[in-house]
Amino acid sequence: MNPQKRTRRMVAWLRVTGTGLLMAGAALAAQAQNAIEAVTGSLQSGAEVVRIDLAQPLAAAPTGFAVQSPARIALDFPGVTNGIGRSAVEINQGNLRSVNVVQAGERTRLVLNLKQATAYRTELQGKSLLVVLDPVPGPALAASAQTTFAENRNRDTLPLRDIDFRLGPDNTGRVIVDLPNNQVGVDVRQQGRNLVVEFTKSSLSEGLRRRLDVADFNTPVQFVNAQQVGDRVRMTIEPRGEWEHSAYQSDNQFVVEVRPRKIDPTKLTQGVGYNGEKLSLNFQNIDVRSLLQVIADFTNFNIVTSDSVSGSLTLRLKDVPWDQALDIIMQAKNLGMRKNGTVLWIAPKDEINAKEKAEFEARAAIENLEPLRTQSFQLNYTKALVIAQGLTGTGASAGGGGGSGTTTRILSPRGSVIAEARTNQLFVSDVPSKLAQVAELIQKLDVPVRQVMIEARIVEAADTFGKSLGVKLGGGFANRHATFGAMPVTSSSGSGSTGGIGYGTGNATTTWTNSNFINLPAGDAGGTGNAAGTFALSLFNSSFSRMLNLEISALEADGKGRLISSPRVITADQTKALIEQGEEIPYQQATSSGATSISFRKAVLKLEVTPQITPEGNIILTLDVSKDARGVNTTAGPAINTKHVQTEVLVENGGTVVIGGIFELTETNDESRIPVLGEVPVVGALFRNRERVANKTEMLVFITPKMITDRNAAR
C-alpha cells in the first residue's frame, strides 16, 4: 500500500477516535455535573405533584422509602449535587409542608415533610422527576374514614353485654367491652383531649349507663362514660397527661388500651434505641464542625458547637439512623451533648462536666443562703406523723405500707417539719425548691388505699349409702298336759321355753317350745338408726305339734347432704383481715400448783387473709381458712373436728379459684354366714347376712377476691 494512503487513513482514524473520546468525555462530564436545580409543588387533577428539575435527565427513577411517624418520604439521588443553593424549601401546600435537600458526598437525599403519611409514585419527564402523592382524607371525610373494626349486618340494635376496666402492664388502662356478636361496627376517634368510641346499631342497658371513676388505678384513663345516642352507643374515655392508644377486637370482645407516652427530654428521638431517619455519610478528613452542620441541616435541629470542638474525621455510614450517627461521631471525638428543646449544645465531655459541677456548687451555695418559707399541707388519707417521719428520715417509709422503708432525709439540713395530729396537717419550713419536692411527694402518697373484698365459700358434701340383708330361721314343738277345768295355755316364742299365756278350751294345756337355730338379722346399714323391715313365715304340721319359723329382714339407706359456709371480709391493700364465727369450748387444765383451771379452745369458722394488689391488677392472697366443729366427748373433754388450709395464691380481679379440697371415700362389705351351709348356692342365702356401706365426703374451698373501685359496691 502507498505510504501516503496509509498515512491519510491513520489520520482519519485518529480524528474519529478523538471525536468519540471527546463526546464520551463530554457525556461523563455532563453526568458528573448533574444537579437538582429546582423543587416546586402543584396540584394536578386533584393530586399533589412535586416537580424536581435536574440539570440532566436521570437514567432511572431514584430509590426511596417512606416513614410513618413523622410522615416523610425520602429519595436518594446518586451522583447528583444540590444546585438549589439552600437545604430547605418551604411548600405549605396541601399535605406537603416542606422539602429538605441534603448533599452528602456524591449523593443527595431529598426529603418530603408531610402532614399525614401517604403513598407516592414517581415518573420521569425529560430532565424532571415528578413525585405524585396519593390524596389523604380531608376534614369533611374524617368522620367517614375512622377506624372501623366490623360492619353491622343487623338492622335492629343489639344490647352491649358489659363494659369493664382492667389495669394492664406498665400502667396501661384497658377498657373491655363485651359485644353481642362479632359483627358490631366500632368507630374510634380522638376528639380534643378525649377518646370517643361509638358502637353502631347497638343499645345500652340502664345498668351500664354509668360513669366509671378509675383514677385510683394510676393510669392515663380518669373516667369512662357510656351513653345512648340514637341507634348507637357512645363511650367517652377521658385520659390525662401525654398518652397514646390502640384498639383491637377478638371475637365478641373489643379492647381499647390507653398507655402513657414515655417522653425523655434528653433523647434525640423517642422510643427504645435509635429511631431517627436513616442517612448515609461518606467523608474523607471532613472537619467535625462541618459534619455537625450537615446533620443539623438534615434533622432541623439547632446545634450550638463549643469553640473547643475541633479536628477532622473520616467515616462511611450507609443507611444509619441519624441519632446513631451523631452518637458515633461524639464518641469518636469524646464529645458530650445537652438537649434543651430543639437546641443541642455539643462540647467536650470535660467541659460539660466542669460547667455542670460549677452550676451544682452555685446552687448549693444559694440554697444555704436562701431564706426559708413555711407551707402547710392538709392530709386526707395518710397520718401527718407518718409523713413527718419520712421527711426527716426518723421513721419508716411515709407510705406506711408495712414494708421496710428508707430513712433518707428529704428536707434540707435547714428544713424542719411539724405534724399536727388533731387536724392532720403538716407545717414544713424549708427553701422553695424543697417545698416543691415535698408537695409533689405528698400528692403521690396522700391517696386513698385500694380495698379488696374477699369471699370464701367452704362447701362440704356427703353421700352415704348402706344396704343390709339378714335372716332368722327357727322352729318349735307343742307339749300338752291334762288339766281339770279351764287352765291357762302358755305359748313359747323366741329362744326361751316360756312364751305368751292363753286359755285352753278343753281339759288340756299346750306349751310351745321355740328356738332360733340361725339368728343373722339385718343390721343398721350406714348408721342411720332406722330399724330394718322384716317378713316372717311360720309352717305347721298336720297335727299342729311342730312348726318352722322363717324371718327375712332387709334395710337400704341412701342419704345426701351439703353444707355451705361463706365468710366474706373487706380490707385495705396489704392489710391483714380476720373474721370468725363459732364457739369456745371449755376444758379443765392442770396448773403447776396441782390445781385445775378452766381453759377455752375455739371451734370456729375463720377466714384470715392479707391481700396484695399487683401493678397489672391481679391480687396475691395470703390465706388461712379453717372450719372447726365440736366432736365426740372424751374423758378429757370434747374433741375438735378440724378442717384447715393455709396457702398463698395469685388470683385475677373478680376471679374464683379453688385453693384446696379433701375427698374421702369409705366402702365396707361385711358378710356373716354359717360355715358350709352359707356357701351352698341359692339355698345358702338363708344362712348368710350381708351388709354393704359406701360413704363419700368432699370439702372444697373457693376464694373470690374483688377490688372495690366504687364505694357503694360493697353491699
Average pLDDT of the residues in 711-715: 44
Q: Please determine, for residue 610, whether its predicted confidence score (pLDDT) is greater than 90.
A: yes
| pLDDT for res 265 | 66
CA atoms within 13 Å, Cβ hemisphere of 327: 12
Average pLDDT of the residues in 103-118: 84
| pLDDT for res 611 | 93
Q: Please determine, for residue 696, whether its predicted confidence score (pLDDT) is greater than 60.
A: yes
| pLDDT for res 264 | 65
Q: Are 566 and 578 in contact, with CB atoms under 8 Å apart?
A: no
Q: Please determine, for residue 483, whether its predicted confidence score (pLDDT) is greater than 60.
A: no
Q: Please determine, for residue 19, whether its predicted confidence score (pLDDT) is greater than 60.
A: no
Q: Please determine, for residue 401, whether its predicted confidence score (pLDDT) is greater than 70.
A: no
In whole angstroms, give the CA distance from residue 461 to residue 603: 20
DSSP conformational letter for 530 = P
| pLDDT for res 475 | 74
Q: Please identify which residue in the block is written with the cell numbers 340383708.
A: 469
The neighbour count for residue 330, using CB atoms within 10 Å, is 19
Closest CA to 619 of 630, 628, 610, 631: 610
Q: Are 446 and 379 in contact, with CB atoms under 8 Å apart?
A: yes
Q: Please determine, for residue 399, whether its predicted confidence score (pLDDT) is greater than 80.
A: no
Q: What is the pLDDT of residues 511-554, one digit of tens each?
A: 666 677 677 777 776 666 667 777 777 777 766 667 777 777 77
Q: Please determine, for residue 70, whether its predicted confidence score (pLDDT) is greater than 90.
A: no
Bridge partners (DSSP) of residue 624 are: 608, 646
| pLDDT for res 28 | 44
Q: What is the pLDDT of residues 262-278, one digit of tens each?
A: 766 667 776 667 777 88
Q: Angle, to 10 degrees, between the axis of helix 432-445 and the axis of helix 384-392?
A: 130
Q: Identify the burial level of 500 via C-beta atoms within 10 angstroms of its C-beta, where 0-12 means exposed, 13-18 middle and 19 or more buried.
A: exposed
| pLDDT for res 163 | 92
| pLDDT for res 419 | 92
Given its phi and psi angles, is residue 494 left (phi above 0), alpha (psi -120 to 50 degrees) or beta? left
| pLDDT for res 650 | 92
CA distances 494 to 240, 514, 515, 519, 550, Å, are: 95, 6, 5, 11, 12
Closest CA to 693 of 504, 534, 542, 528: 528
Q: Please determine, for residue 622, whether its predicted confidence score (pLDDT) is greater than 90.
A: yes
SS3 content of the chain, % helix, strand, coil (to 5): 15, 50, 30
Q: Please identify which residue in the block is written with the cell numbers 428539575.
A: 53
| pLDDT for res 408 | 78
pLDDT, mean over the chain:
79
Q: How do strand 451-482 and strand 568-572 relate by DSSP bridges?
A: antiparallel
Q: Please determine, for residue 13, whether its predicted confidence score (pLDDT) is greater than 70.
A: no
In whole angstroms, give the CA distance from residue 685 to residue 680: 8
In whole angstroms, give the CA distance from residue 385 to residue 392: 11
| pLDDT for res 489 | 47
At residue 395 the predicted structure's pLDDT band, cuts being 50, 70 and 90, is low
In whole angstroms, give the CA distance from residue 23 to residue 33: 15
- Which residues fall within 8 angstroms of residue 374, CB to CB, at 6 or more apart? 427, 428, 429
Average pLDDT of the residues in 13-35: 51
In whole angstroms, give the CA distance from residue 35 to residue 56: 7
Q: Please identify which residue in the block is written with the cell numbers 396484695.
A: 612
Q: Are 94 and 121 in contact, with CB atoms under 8 Å apart?
A: no
Q: Please determine, for residue 243, whether its predicted confidence score (pLDDT) is greater than 90.
A: no
Average pLDDT of the residues in 599-611: 88
The residue that leads in pLDDT, 659 or 45, is: 659
At residue 452's C-alpha, the angle toward residues 448 and 456, to 5°, is: 165
Segment (H or E) for 662 = strand 657-673
Q: Please determine, for residue 42, whether its predicted confidence score (pLDDT) is greater than 90.
A: no
CA atoms within 13 Å, Cβ hemisphere of 652: 5
Average pLDDT of the residues in 186-208: 86
pTM: 0.46
Burial 253-277 (b: 16+ CB within 10 A, else e): ebebbbbbeeeeeeebbeeeebbbb
| pLDDT for res 511 | 67
The residue that leads in pLDDT, 346 or 405, is: 346
Return the C-alpha cell found at 580.
370468725
Q: Please determine, for residue 304, whether its predicted confidence score (pLDDT) is greater than 80.
A: yes
Q: Please determine, for residue 609, whether its predicted confidence score (pLDDT) is greater than 90.
A: yes
At residue 27 the predicted structure's pLDDT band, cuts being 50, 70 and 90, is very low
Tell me the one-letter amino acid at 20.
G
